[in-house]
Amino acid sequence: MKEKLSHYDDAGRARMVDVSGKADTHRTASARAFVRLSPAVLRALPRNPKGDPLQVARFAGIAAAKRTAELIPMCHPLLLSHIDVQARRVRGGVELRSMVTTMGPTGVEMEALTAVAVAALTVYDMTKALDKAITIESVELMEKTGGKRGPYKRKT
């Protein structure tokens, strides 16, 4: 583990990391989130009067990834090459996965995490009328490539 957090200066003040001297490299990140739903809500998903919650969640996740720098104060705005968000019903709920790609000076982990977090919130928003006990669980980085520290893959 690194000895010092990168978003703080020597005096301990929060700062945006200067990436102006870093070369653009191909970078990817994938993330996962899980929305726990009751069996009744899972059964009702295809009949939601607001539209298909899983498709709306996918679109919300894509839009959110594009706006990550507006939401996370020290996050750099990046030109994203590709964003993919998948949503599928699984036992106990909905699994959301994202994959984000860029050619840039810094990684896209925050964009991948933002995509699944907002997609999960969208599933909640579109199903909350049926059940307020829905939970969003396990928002986590699954994998990243590129950058000075090299690849990362979550052990499952």
For the domain that residue 108 is a member of, what is the CATH number?
3.30.70.640
Active site residue 125: yes
The domain in which residue 100 lies consists of: 25-145
The structure's pTM equals 0.89
How far apart, in Å, are the Cα atoms of 61 and each of 18, 33, 80, 102, 150?
27, 11, 13, 16, 26
Cβ atoms of 78 and 106 within 8 Å: the answer is yes
Does residue 33 sit within a domain?
yes
Q: 3-class SS at 131?
A: coil
Tens-level pLDDT at each residue, the chain (156 residues): 456 666 667 777 777 777 777 888 999 999 999 999 999 999 998 887 777 899 999 999 999 999 999 999 889 999 999 999 999 999 999 999 999 999 998 889 999 999 999 999 999 999 999 999 999 999 999 999 998 788 999 997
- Measured over the CA atoms of residue 6, residue 150, residue 112 and residue 143, the dihedral's sign is negative
Catalytic residue among 9, 24, 125, 131: 125
Number of structural domains (the chain) is 1
